[in-house]
Structure formats: structure tokens, C-alpha cells
Amino acid sequence: MASLLSKVQTLISANLHALVDRALKANSVAVLDEYIRQAEDNLDDLQDALVTVRGQVKTLKRKYELFQAEAEQLDADIDRLLKLGKEDLAIAAQSQYNSKSELAQEYKEQWEKQQIEADKLNDARLKLEAKLTTIKQEREHLLALLELAKSKEIAAKTIRSLDDLQGIGDSDIARVGEQIRARLDRADAEMELEATSLDTQLDDVLGKARLEDQLAERKRRLGLAAE
């Protein structure tokens, strides 16, 4: 359990900006795909663990309530036996009461401990789900950005080729080359505007993701987070 929570915490604390930067430098979304794969695997394990622990919580709570009810009944029986002057039976009942009370207390402590573990698991699950959603959104934006970068690289390569063409051709070839260069310059300017727009969207999403994480944490503290 501790190992699983440690892995999940590492994924939750992963720096989104650093992941995006690495993907951009590598010109690939593979780094984000690997994060998503690990996060989804750990999320499945986390869900299984949470179901198990919640089952234990219910079992321990039920046993606590059972022994507590029996202890309370014995407590009342002891008083009645003493009033009837049946001290031998009262002693036997007191012994049973002590045993039931001790068991009830043990189950209560175990129940409360497992409830804390269940809360930790659920909190980690909510945080990891939020982080995973953000990473998946960033992957789509990054794909578009990388495609735009590839298009600009092709445009730049074409322009360099036209430079070579103008150097060796006659005036007609040079004129055609200049017209094509003008079209490519316009296309390049449009792509730069799109890139700026994507960068702005990327910053907006990152800001929104932080706000969503903060709201998720606040809801957890207020007890408003969905089970």
C-alpha cells in the first residue's frame, strides 16, 4: 500500500511544464504517452486497493457495532442481576462484558485506522485523475504544436531551395521563384500566428489545471469530493 501511494504521489507531483518541455525538445509526445500509461496503470491499482480497504472498513465497523451492542446489553443485564441479588451471575456477566468491550474497542481502533487509509487512497485517486485529465489535454495541444512546427520546417526548406533556384535561373524563373517565396512568407506568417494562439491556449490550460487541482483539494477538505 505504501509503495503504491508513493508511486501515485510521484505521478501527481510530476512537473507539467517540464514534461511538455521534454516532449518539445524530443519533437515527440512519447514522454507524455509514458506518463499516461503509468498513471492509468497506477489508477487501476489504486481503485482496486480502495475497494478492498473500503470493504475492510465496513466489515470492521459492523463487528464493532455488534460487540458494542452486546456489551451494552450485558451492562444493563449486570445492573438487573445485582438488583436481584444474583452476584454469581453478575460476576459472570461482568466477565463477558469486559471481553465484549475490549473486542469492541479493538475493532473500533482498526475501523478508524482503515478509514484513514481509505481517505488517503481516495484523495490520491482524485488527484491522479485530475492530473491525468490535464496531461491528456496537453498531449492533444502538443500534437498540434508539433505538426505546426513540422510545417514551418518544410516551408523554410522550400524557401532555401528557391534561393538556390533564383541564383541559377533567368529572369522568368527568378520572378516565379519570388512569387512562390511571397506565398510561403504569407503562409509562414499565418503559421506563426497559429503557434502564438496555441502557446496562449497552452498557458490557459496550465492555469486552469492548477485552479482545478486547488478546487479539488478544497472540496476534499470540505467533504464535498465525490466518493
17: pLDDT strictly greater than 90? no
Average pLDDT, the chain: 81
Rounded mean pLDDT of 9-25?
84
Query: Does any domain span residue 49?
Result: yes
Full domain range(s) for residue 105: 2-222
Rounded mean pLDDT of 113-131?
93
21: pLDDT strictly greater than 90? no
Q: Residue 157: its pLDDT value, please?
A: 64
Q: How far is CA 176 from CA 84, 155, 168, 183, in A?
A: 118, 16, 13, 11
Q: Residue 108: its pLDDT value, please?
A: 96
What total of structural domains would you count in the chain?
A: 1
Confidence at 140, pLDDT banded by 50, 70, 90:
confident
Beta strands in the chain (DSSP E): none
Query: Does any domain span residue 208?
Result: yes
Across 181-215, b (16+ Cβ under 10 Å) vs e yields beebeeeeeeeeeebeeeeeebeebbeebeeebee
Q: Residue 99: its pLDDT value, please?
A: 95
Query: Does any domain span residue 227?
Result: no
Q: Pick the more confident residue, 108 or 211.
A: 108
pTM: 0.60
Q: Residue 114: its pLDDT value, please?
A: 94
Q: Residue 152: its pLDDT value, please?
A: 65
**Helix, coil or strand: residue 84:** coil
Q: Residue 142: its pLDDT value, please?
A: 83
Query: Does any domain span residue 144?
Result: yes
Confidence at 105, pLDDT banded by 50, 70, 90:
very high
Query: Does any domain span residue 148?
Result: yes
**Helix, coil or strand: residue 124:** helix
What is the CB neighbour count within 10 angstroms for residue 150?
11
Closest CA to 2 of 227, 10, 202: 10
Q: Residue 41: its pLDDT value, please?
A: 92
